[in-house]
Each structure stands twice: as structure tokens, then as C-alpha cells.
């Protein structure tokens, strides 16, 4: 499920930018290629199967021996001939003069292991079609993710028919990637130093249903292309695994024991969207008939540490004061840790536009404020309960002597942070981005925590 149904669609956005990729060289270069492709895929780019189908081609080169240099220069020439728009990266990129002497038309040359620069060059020459409603990464997500976490896209498209959404029309039906392909990509990312994988797709719990849960092999063992096997496989990698866009279907219950054992993070991002069954029915939401409160209670009984994040829409067409009150009552009962909320706005082409009784803007505004006030109060209370506890955190950055980190309960860019002041001594930081640290929580506000190192 995407972040928000706020904006209108336009035909221009239906064109998915396509990147061709040629990867030469050693396993290290392959890891870089993987990292670049993972990032681009998460941002909504498609990988083109041929030069002709690509809007731009990235050639990841090798410059180790003369034969490899020749092969790389030939590959660049071939890409230029068949496509014309070429970005060069990799080891040969350390000697741009050699490339430019033979191929002055290349758009950009970036150096080895500089995946941020390559992705930046792709953005420059083929801008991502960033659209909060359609994209799975957060609005800020086109900014490059730090090296220590990566979005892992497991599927494209969606088989649901939510009435406010046009993704199935734009992106097509669910198309899952086979589990061995996904697990191998995840394995390489972990080997390259990624500490946290964020699993994304439009409907993560439906993963593999389009492939009839195809069987595959990974690490010499059988896996099915399905949600629970994916969680099990990723849980073997020794990195944080965070599951996004999971619908509350009964089979999701199976993942909770893995969370209790910390094989995957005890964190679920479930886009509930509303708490009133009649509104959910009008929204045509998957799992709208499920008793979600009972499900949440059962999850928490099994895994008390579970952090639940969700997004909601207020002011959906026809939403009555009674239905909105049901939503507030639902939220009070559900006690979700992290909550995002949007005021409904029509998306061109969505079925919900034809529903009667659109809620006036001022009523939407007022409901939004009431909803957020209640959500903030719940968040404040739940975070305050963490004061005095010891938590493992992952450091994202060091800013003015303060480490900005996240606990198991905080997804990057959409949830809160754990600030750890005083981590610089004698001009040197005691922590670095990408490191884990153990802290004791000493303070909390509505959304964020403050901790101090416990050594």
C-alpha cells in the first residue's frame, strides 16, 4: 500500500523509467551493481531487458587488466551504439580520461564503489517519477538511502481493487519476484554491509500468490515463494529485517513467532486505513471483514515487543460522524505505536470518486486534527513506557555530537528516532553511522526517544 492518496494522477506518470544495466568484472563489482539496482527498483525504476527498451544504460566496468579494460570500452561502445545514453561506473571509472578519449558521448563517468554517484547520475539524466501515492519508499526516499539499510522490493503491482487507488490500473497485477532471486539479492546486500533490509511491495502478505507459491532452492534447501518462507529466509541473514505493507490476513499470524525470536524485527507496518467496517467495505479494502482488533491482541500476546505502524484515511466519501467515532474508538483500543494519516482526496480514475457525499474540506480538517491528537497521545504514552529500558539501536548519522539512531520499532524516515547526545569526545565520535549500539532510554516526547550509551 502506498503512502498517501493525496495527489491526482496524470498520464505522464504512467510511464515507468527504465534503466538498462551491463555488469562486468569481479564479485565486488557485482555487489555494487546489485546495490544500484536495488535502490533504483525501490524508487520505481524498471530494469530494461535490452538496450532498445532502456531510457538510459549503466555500464559497470572493470579495469583490472588490459583485457578487462578493452572489454569494458567495447561494452560502453556497444551501449552507445544501441542506446546512445550511457552512464559509466566501476573500476575503469577511476580513469575517466581513458573512457572519454574513446567515448566522449557518455553522459557521466563515476568511480568504483560509488553507487551513490551512479544513482545520482541516473536521477540527473532520467529523473525518478516520484509520486507519494504510487511509490513505496517514503517521500524523502529518492534521497539516497545510507549504505547500511536498503529497500528490498519483492513484487510489483497489486491484485486488490481498493476504491481510492489506481495502482492496479497503472502498475498492473501482482508480479512477484521468485524467492531464490530475492533471497540471493538480500544475501549479497548483507554481505556488502547492509545492516537492515526493508521489505516492500504493494501487498507483502500476497507475495507469491501470482506464482502459485513457486518452489525454489536457496542455500541448498527448499523454499516456496511465499510470505512466511521469505521471512524465514531473510531471518537467516543476521541483519534487521523490517516488513512493510502487510495486510492482516490470518496467514500473517505465522510470522509473529519469528518476531518473538528476533529472526525478523518485531515490527509490522499494516495499512489499516480505517476502523469502521462500513467505510472499509466502501474502500474495498483487502481483509476488511477481519476482526483486526482481535488479531492485534493475539499478536501482542505472542510478541509483547511488537511495534505496529499504520496509515489511515479520514474524510473518505460518505464517512459519517458515527463512522469517524468508530475509527477513534478502534484506535483507542488498538493502541498503535506509529500512525500516519491523510485526508482523503480524489485520485483521477479511482472508483471512490463516484461515491456520493464527499466530506467537506473543513470537516476533513477537523477530523484529521482530532485523529492526530489521539494518535499522538497514544504514541507519547507508549514511548514514555520505554524510559529506563535498554534498547539496541542502529545509528543513522552523527549530527553535532548527537547520534541519530533508530530502535527496532522505528523505520527510517517515517517513524521516530533515538537521539544519543554526547557521543563525541575530544573531537572524535564514539559511534559511526551504520553501527549498532546499546542504550538506556532516558527521555521521551511525542514521537522520539533520547538515550545514553550503556557500556
- As measured in angstroms, the least distance from the Cβ of 285 to ligand SF4 is 7
User: According to CB under 6 A, which residues from 197 to 226 bind ligand SF4?
Assistant: 202-203
Among 165, 264, 393, 431, binds ligand SF4 (CB under 6 A): 165
Is there binding between residue 162 and ligand SF4 (CB under 6 A)? yes
Nearer to ligand SF4, 175 or 402 (CB): 175
- As measured in angstroms, the least distance from the Cβ of 194 to ligand SF4 is 26
d(CA 230, CA 352): 34
DSSP state of 68: H
Nearer to ligand SF4, 160 or 310 (CB): 160
Q: Under rule CB under 6 A, how many of the chain's residues touch ligand SF4? A: 11
- As measured in angstroms, the least distance from the Cβ of 46 to ligand SF4 is 17
Among 152, 167, 211, 352, binds ligand SF4 (CB under 6 A): 167
Is there binding between residue 1 and ligand SF4 (CB under 6 A)? yes
Nearer to ligand SF4, 10 or 322 (CB): 10
Is there binding between residue 160 and ligand SF4 (CB under 6 A)? yes
d(CA 381, CA 22): 51
Is there binding between residue 340 and ligand SF4 (CB under 6 A)? no
- As measured in angstroms, the least distance from the Cβ of 7 to ligand SF4 is 14
**Residues composing the chain:** 455
Nearer to ligand SF4, 61 or 160 (CB): 160
**Residue 103: other Cβ atoms inside 10 A:** 17
Among 37, 87, 137, 158, binds ligand SF4 (CB under 6 A): 158
- As measured in angstroms, the least distance from the Cβ of 277 to ligand SF4 is 17
49-75: b (≥16 Cβ within 10 Å) or e = eebeebbbbbbbbbbeeeebbebbbeb
Is there binding between residue 9 and ligand SF4 (CB under 6 A)? no
- Residues forming beta bridges with residue 451, ordered by sequence position: 441
> With 0-12 CB in 10 A as exposed, 13-18 as middle and 19+ as buried, what is 42?
buried
112-115 own/partner pairs: CB under 8 Å, 24+ apart: 112/29, 112/32, 113/28, 113/32, 114/89, 115/32, 115/35, 115/36, 115/39, 115/89
- As measured in angstroms, the least distance from the Cβ of 410 to ligand SF4 is 23
> With 0-12 CB in 10 A as exposed, 13-18 as middle and 19+ as buried, what is 427?
exposed
d(CA 46, CA 42): 9
List residues binding ligand SF4 (CB under 6 A).
1, 158, 160-162, 165, 167-168, 202-203, 286
Amino acid at each position: 500500500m502506498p503512502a498517501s492518496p493525496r495527489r491526482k494522477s496524470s498520464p505522464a506518470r504512467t510511464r515507468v523509467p527504465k534503466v538498462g544495466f551491463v555488469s562486468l568484472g569481479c564479485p565486488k563489482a557485482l555487489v555494487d551493481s546489485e546495490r544500484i539496482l536495488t535502490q533504483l527498483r525501490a524508487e520505481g525504476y524498471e530494469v530494461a531487458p535490452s538496450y532498445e527498451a532502456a531510457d538510459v544504460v549503466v555500464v559497470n566496468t572493470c579495469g583490472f587488466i588490459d583485457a578487462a579494460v578493452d572489454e569494458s570500452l567495447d561494452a560502453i561502445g556497444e551501449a552507445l551504439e544501441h542506446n546512445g545514453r550511457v552512464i559509466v561506473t566501476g573500476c575503469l571509472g577511476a580513469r575517466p580520461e581513458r573512457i572519454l578519449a574513446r567515448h566522449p558521448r557518455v553522459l557521466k563517468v563515476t568511480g568504483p564503489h560509488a553507487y551513490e554517484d551512479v544513482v545520482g547520475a541516473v536521477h540527473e539524466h532520467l529523473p525518478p517519477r516520484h509520486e507519494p501515492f504510487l511509490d513505496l519508499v517514503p517521500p524523502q526516499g529518492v534521497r539516497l538511502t545510507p549504505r547500511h539499510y536498503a529497500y528490498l522490493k519483492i513484487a510489483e503491482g497489486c491484485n486488490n481493487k481498493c476504491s481510492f487507488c489506481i495502482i492496479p490500473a497503472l502498475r498492473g497485477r501482482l508480479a512477484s519476484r521468485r524467492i531464490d532471486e530475492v533471497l540471493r539479492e538480500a544475501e549479497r546486500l548483507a554481505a556488502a554491509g547492509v545492516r537492515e533490509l526493508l521489505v516492500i511491495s504493494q501487498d507483502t502478505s500476497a507475495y507469491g500468490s501470482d506464482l502459485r507459491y513457486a518452489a525454489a532452492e536457496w542455500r541448498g534447501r527448499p523454499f516456496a515463494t511465499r510470505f512466511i518462507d521469505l521471512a524465514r529466509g531473510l531471518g537467516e541473514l543476521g541483519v534487521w529485517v523490517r516488513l512493510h505493507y502487510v495486510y492482516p490476513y490470518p496467514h500473517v499470524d505465522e510470522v509473529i513467532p519469528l518476531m518473538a525470536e528476533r529472526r525478523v524485527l518485531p515490527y509490522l507496518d499494516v495499512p489499516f486505513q480505517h476502523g469502521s467496517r462500513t467505510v472499509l467495505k466502501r474502500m474495498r479494502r483487502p481483509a476488511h471483514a477481519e476482526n483486526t482488533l482481535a488479531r492485534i491482541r493475539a499478536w501482542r500476546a505472542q510478541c509483547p515487543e511488537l511495534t505496529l505502524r499504520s496509515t489511515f484515511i479520514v474524510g473518505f466519501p460518505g464517512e459519517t460522524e458515527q463512522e469517524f467515532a468508530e475509527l477513534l474508538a478502534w484506535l483507542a483500543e488498538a493502541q498503535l505505536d506509529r500512525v500516519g494519516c491523510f485526508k482523503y482526496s480524489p485520485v483521477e480514475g479511482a472508483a471512490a470518486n463516484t461515491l456520493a457525499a464527499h466530506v467537506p474540506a473543513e470537516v476533513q480538517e477537523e477530523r484529521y486534527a482530532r485523529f492526530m491528537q489521539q494518535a499522538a497521545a497514544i504514541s507519547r504514552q507508549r514511548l514514555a513506557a520505554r524510559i529506563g529500558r535498554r534498547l539496541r539501536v542502529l545509528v543513522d548519522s552523527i549530527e553535532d555530537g548527537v547520534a541519530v539512531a533508530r530502535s527496532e520499532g522505528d523505520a527510517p524516515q517515517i517513524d521516530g528516532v533515538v537521539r544519543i547526545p554526547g557521543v563525541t569526545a575530544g573531537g572524535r565520535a564514539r559511534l559511526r553511522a551504520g553501527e549498532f549500539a546499546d542504550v538506556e532510554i532516558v527521555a521521551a516526547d511525542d514521537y522520539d526517544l533520547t538515550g545514553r550509551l550503556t557500556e
